[in-house]
A and B are shown apart, each in its own frame.
Chain A
Amino acid sequence: MEWELVMGLEVHIELATKTKIFCGCSTEFGGAPNTHCCPVCTGMPGTLPVLNRQVVEYAVRAGLALNCDINRYHKFDRKNYFYPDLTKAYQISQLYLPFAQNGHVDLKLKNGDTSTIRIHEIHMEEDAGKLIHSSYGDETYPDYNRCGVPLIEIVSEPDFRTTEEVIAYLTKLKSICEYLDISDCKMEEGSMRADVNLSIRPKGSDTLGTRTEMKNINSFKAIERAIAYETKRQIALVEDGGRVVQETRRWDESKAQTFAMRSKENAQDYRYFPEPDLPPVRISEEEIAYYRSICPEFAEQKAERYVSELGLSAEDAAILADSKYLAELFEGTVAICKDAAEVRYWMMTQVLYFLNERNLQPADITLAAEDFAAFVQIVKAGRINRQTGKTVFEAMFFAEAPFDLEGYIREHDLEQVDDDALITETIRALIAANPKAVEQYRSGQTKIVGFFVGQTMKQLKGKANPATVNAVLERELNQG
């Protein structure tokens, strides 16, 4: 039988506020355990939460960017569960009246099709703490620095049919949040987390199968692997006459398998009730209009502009526009040096290569547009050749900005040699030393010219202008 995959995503995104959602403790990542804590976020009796204004703004702007209806009136509820990652034994969340509903995201797929993923709702909630387990003893040590960090949870409809759609959706959410500047969406650091609800059904059927929910997936690569594993598991189970049980399964990256979580952790009876400690939130038409007015240009519009105004191919434009950090570097550099083609060349060949090779994120780039533009101008002026340029670019890319480009070229003696007399002298010496090769050339094996180009470059430490070398070689080899 042919099976169809049906998936829905619950994506948690940590908002990049300075303080927690209900208290003034810092949200900074990586502090010593339990040092960003106060009586509110540790759930001491008698304390009261007060909502962070910035959380509402960031959340509503995300809702608008994801084409949601923004509820002008929304409120908070308590989700009760007793587990030591929460200090209060409940999480403040939104169930009955979330702030945003009925959105959608349009995805562009590799085959050129578009696919629309509907968003059921987005709600605000507080993050839980981190549990550190003793490796030998019987103890767990909760760290509540993350407890109370603001989250939005974006709940999609079960509209995904392929892994490609899932990845495209997450990439787009990350890109939108980057442009809105509301989250850094680093899956590796947990500031973006995706739970995948997955079920299978016979192809062509329109009823939904029983789903499992996969948690603990920490990278795009892991998502692909987890989906592939769980799909296979469910198909094998059903084809063997079994039945999929609705449960939460934990993805174990090292074992590349999903495991059913213990039934206690599975008990999904959250006994929600309205949060009495927080008054509701009203959002005015003026606020919505203002948030719309400060909505930035997103990846798609940018990519279209790169194609129509800067002459990039659709593929290159999409790659550069997807990441705010790549787009800023690209646009900033082009604005100064006015040569989009040249900047595109160094972005696509060098910048992307280094990110990939060193496993870096675009957000990690320290290269300044001013340095990049100065570099492009030096290459265009012929002061260094392209080959030397690669070495210089690498040094500049990994150095602290601002980079002393002139000093580096001087110090390493990299200025391009375009001195006709020096190049001619070098080439004449090579011709004299390699009569055989000259003979081959003159008898029609013109490919041997590559040997002379290489030797000349070697003699001149790679700094010669390749155009001049070629011209002089042609002139000298065809003489006499």
Chain B
Amino acid sequence: MEIKKELVSYVADLSRIRLDETEVAEMQAQMSEIVGYMDILNQLDTDGIEPMSHIFSIANVLRDDVVQPSYPRADILRNAPEHTDEAFVVPKTVE
């Protein structure tokens, strides 16, 4: 599958990432390499092989419904580039 510039820009847009011309070209090359690798895998005959859903053959890793203390709010907010005393701050999402 050929990775076109438009696809790179589209994926960047969905991820809310701003890319300039040079970066688009850079990403285009990297994505082409990754997807190209998938193309190699696609050449394998996988008929009759059940798709793998997890790298380990385990199931039912569950925990009991018991409340654990949450984190202090200040600690949760600390890593954010911008926050108030109560919440993260993001650009307004409604007009």
Main secondary structure of the interface of A (DSSP, over half): loop
Asked if residues B14 and A37 are in contact (CB atoms below 8 Å), the reply is: no
**Cα–Cα distance between A249 and B1 once the two chains are bound (Å):** 35
Which residues of A are found within 8 Å of B16, using beta-carbon distances?
A: 82
The answer to whether A37 and B67 touch (CB under 8 A), given A274-B53, A281-B60, is no
The reply to whether the CB of B34 lies closer than 8 angstroms to some CB of chain A is no
In the complex, chain A residues 34-74 whose Cβ is within 8 Å of any chain B Cβ: 34-39, 42, 44, 50-56, 73
Asked if residues B68 and A19 are in contact (CB atoms below 8 Å), the reply is: yes
Asked if residues A39 and B71 are in contact (CB atoms below 8 Å), the reply is: yes
The reply to whether the CB of A83 lies closer than 8 angstroms to some CB of chain B is yes
The answer to whether A18 and B67 touch (CB under 8 A), given A34-B86, A142-B88, is yes
Distance of B31 from chain A, by nearest CB (Å): 13
The reply to whether the CB of A75 lies closer than 8 angstroms to some CB of chain B is yes
**Cα–Cα distance between A410 and B92 once the two chains are bound (Å):** 62
- B67 partner, pick from A26, A56, A138, A269, beta carbons under 8 A: A26
**Cα–Cα distance between A84 and B89 once the two chains are bound (Å):** 10
The reply to whether the CB of B58 lies closer than 8 angstroms to some CB of chain A is yes
Residue of A nearest to B77 (CB): A34
The answer to whether A137 and B87 touch (CB under 8 A), given A19-B67, A82-B14, is no
- B71 partner, pick from A32, A33, A38, beta carbons under 8 A: A38
Distance of B67 from chain A, by nearest CB (Å): 5
Residue of B nearest to A52 (CB): B65
Asked if residues B59 and A280 are in contact (CB atoms below 8 Å), the reply is: yes
Beyond A73-B59, A84-B93, A274-B54, list 19 extra A-B contacts (CB 8 Å).
A18-B65, A23-B68, A25-B67, A32-B73, A34-B88, A35-B73, A50-B61, A54-B64, A132-B87, A134-B92, A140-B92, A140-B93, A141-B86, A274-B53, A279-B54, A279-B58, A281-B59, A281-B60, A282-B59
Interface centre among A17, A19, A278 (most CB of B within 10 A): A19
Query: Per-position contact with A for B51-95: 1 when CB-CB < 8 Å, else 0?
Result: 001111011111111111011010011010000101111111111
The reply to whether the CB of A276 lies closer than 8 angstroms to some CB of chain B is yes
Which residues of B are found within 8 Å of A32, using beta-carbon distances?
A: 73, 86
- A141 partner, pick from B59, B64, B73, B84, beta carbons under 8 A: B84
Asked if residues A138 and B91 are in contact (CB atoms below 8 Å), the reply is: yes
Asked if residues B65 and A139 are in contact (CB atoms below 8 Å), the reply is: no
**Cα–Cα distance between A81 and B13 once the two chains are bound (Å):** 11
**Cα–Cα distance between A279 and B67 once the two chains are bound (Å):** 22
**Cα–Cα distance between A25 and B15 once the two chains are bound (Å):** 28
Distance of A156 from chain B, by nearest CB (Å): 27
Which residues of A are found within 8 Å of B77, using beta-carbon distances?
A: 34
**Cα–Cα distance between A35 and B70 once the two chains are bound (Å):** 7
Interface residues on A, range: 35 or more
Distance of A32 from chain B, by nearest CB (Å): 7
**Cα–Cα distance between A142 and B83 once the two chains are bound (Å):** 10
**Cα–Cα distance between A470 and B67 once the two chains are bound (Å):** 64
**Cα–Cα distance between A81 and B16 once the two chains are bound (Å):** 10
Asked if residues A139 and B67 are in contact (CB atoms below 8 Å), the reply is: no
Distance of B69 from chain A, by nearest CB (Å): 8
**Cα–Cα distance between A133 and B90 once the two chains are bound (Å):** 10
Distance of A89 from chain B, by nearest CB (Å): 7
Q: Which 6 A-B pairs have the closest CB atoms?
A: A24-B68, A141-B87, A54-B65, A53-B62, A84-B90, A33-B86
The reply to whether the CB of A289 lies closer than 8 angstroms to some CB of chain B is no
Can you give 12 A-B contacts (C-beta < 8 A)?
A18-B65, A19-B66, A24-B68, A33-B87, A36-B70, A38-B71, A84-B93, A131-B93, A133-B93, A139-B91, A140-B89, A140-B92
- A137 partner, pick from B53, B66, B92, beta carbons under 8 A: B92
The reply to whether the CB of A267 lies closer than 8 angstroms to some CB of chain B is yes
Residue of A nearest to B58 (CB): A279
Query: Per-position contact with B for A1-42: 1 when CB-CB < 8 Å, else 0?
Result: 000000000000000011100011110000011111111001
Which residues of B are found within 8 Å of A56, using beta-carbon distances?
A: 62
Distance of A430 from chain B, by nearest CB (Å): 68
The reply to whether the CB of A230 lies closer than 8 angstroms to some CB of chain B is no
**Cα–Cα distance between A139 and B80 once the two chains are bound (Å):** 14
Distance of A283 from chain B, by nearest CB (Å): 9
Which residues of B are found within 8 Å of A269, using beta-carbon distances?
A: 14
The answer to whether A53 and B64 touch (CB under 8 A), given A34-B86, A36-B70, A279-B59, is yes
